[in-house]
Amino acid sequence: MYNNLLLEQKGHINVITINRPKQLNALNKETIEELHKAIKSADEDLNTGVIILTGSGEKSFVAGADIKEFADFTIAQGGELAQKGQELLFTFIENCSKPVIAAVNGFALGGGLELAMCSHIRVASSNARMGLPEVSLGVIPGYGGTQRLAQLVGRGKANEMVFTAGIIKADEALKCGLVNYVVELDELMAKAEDIAERILNNSGTAITSVIRSVNASYIDGINGYDVEIEEFGKCFGTVDFKEGTIAFLEKRKPNFRK
Ligand code: DAK
C-alpha cells in the first residue's frame, strides 16, 4: 500500500517507519504524501491513541529533504514545495489530535530534524546526529525549522546551529532541550513505547485539548489562554470526563479505552 513506509499496529500505538534506507530515509515528494496519508488515517483510527515515527536501519532517522529532487527547482517551485510540505506534513503533524513521538534513530538533518521537531515529543538514540545544514546548500530550512528550533532551544542556540550548519550529538541535543531522552539504539523503540503507554493511561480527548491549547500560543493573533479556557469547558461534555471523575469517586483507575 505504501512504497516508502512500513506500518505496524502495536495495541493502541501506530508505528510508522520511513523506509528508504539506501537514501538514508531522505524525504522525497512521494514519501511526504505517504506520510500525510498514514498519519491522517492513524489520527482518524479509533484504535490508535499514539503515533510513533521512526526511520528504518541503524544509521538514519531522516537525512533531510531529498536533495536530488529539489536540486534544479525555480524560486516558484521552492516556495510552492515549502508551503505544500508544511501543510501536508509538518503543520499537519503538529496539529494532529493524537500525540506523535519521534524516535530519532540516527541522522536527523534538515527536513529530518524538522520532522522530529514538529512531533510532540522526541526520543533519540545515542548515535543520533541533529542539525539544520541547509545554508551549506544555499537554502534555508523550509519546513518550519527556523521557527521550531528557536522555540525548542532558544534563539541564540538556534541561530548558531543554523548559521554554522552545525550538527550536534545526542547528548548535546538533550542538554539544550531538543530531545526529551537519549537511550541506546537497541532501547529506543522500547523507550518511545513506554512513553506512549503512559500517555495511553490518560484521556485521549483531554490530550487533544492540551495539544490545541499548547499550539495556540504559537499562532499569531490567537490568545492561548482563551483557547485553554474554551478547551477546558469542552472537557465537561466528554465521556472521558465522566469516566475520570466517577473512577476517582469510586476509588478505581479510569478506563478511557472501553
Ligand atoms: N537527499 C538525497 N539523498 C541522500 C540524502 C539527502 N538528503 N542524504 C543522503 N543521501 C544518499 C546519498 O546520496 C547516498 O546515496 P548514493 O550516493 O549511495 O546513491 C546515500 O544516501 C548514503 O549517503 P552517504 O554515502 O553520503 O552516507 P555517509 O554515511 O557518508 O554520510 C550523511 C551520511 C548524512 C552525513 C550524508 O549523506 C549527508 O551529508 N547527507 C546530506 C545531509 C543534508 O545536507 N541534509 C539536509 C538536506 S537539506 C525545501 C524545503 C525543505 C528543504 C529543502 C527544500 N523546499 C520547500 C524546496 C530542506 C532541505 C534539507 O533537508
Which residues contact ligand 1 via a Cβ below 6 A?
23-24, 26, 63-68, 70, 73, 78, 81-82, 85, 107, 109-111, 133-134, 137, 139, 142-143
The whole-angstrom separation of Cα 222 and Cα 227 is: 8
Residue 187 alpha carbon to ligand 1 centre in Å: 26
Does 210 lie in the same domain as 191? Answer: no
Q: pTM of the full predicted structure?
A: 0.96
Nearest CA to ligand 1 atom 10: 23
Domain that holds residue 224: 204-249
Considering the domain boundaries, does residue 139 fall inside one? yes
Considering the domain boundaries, does residue 257 fall inside one? no
138: left (phi over 0), alpha (psi -120 to 50) or beta: left
Quote the percentage of the chain above a pLDDT of 70: 100
134 catalytic residue (yes or no): yes
Cell of 34: 505517504
Considering the domain boundaries, does residue 255 fall inside one? no
Q: Which amino acid is at 177?
A: G
Q: 156-174: per-residue pLDDT in tens?
A: 999 999 999 999 999 999 9
pLDDT(80) > 90 = no
> How would you write 85-147 as a 3-class SS string?
HHHHHHHHHHCCCCCEEEEECCEEECHHHHHHHHCCEEEEECCCEEECCHHHHCCCCCCCHHH
CATH code where residue 35 lies = 3.90.226.10
First to last CA, the chain: 30
114 catalytic residue (yes or no): yes
Report the pLDDT value the prediction gives residue 169, as an integer from 0 to 100: 98
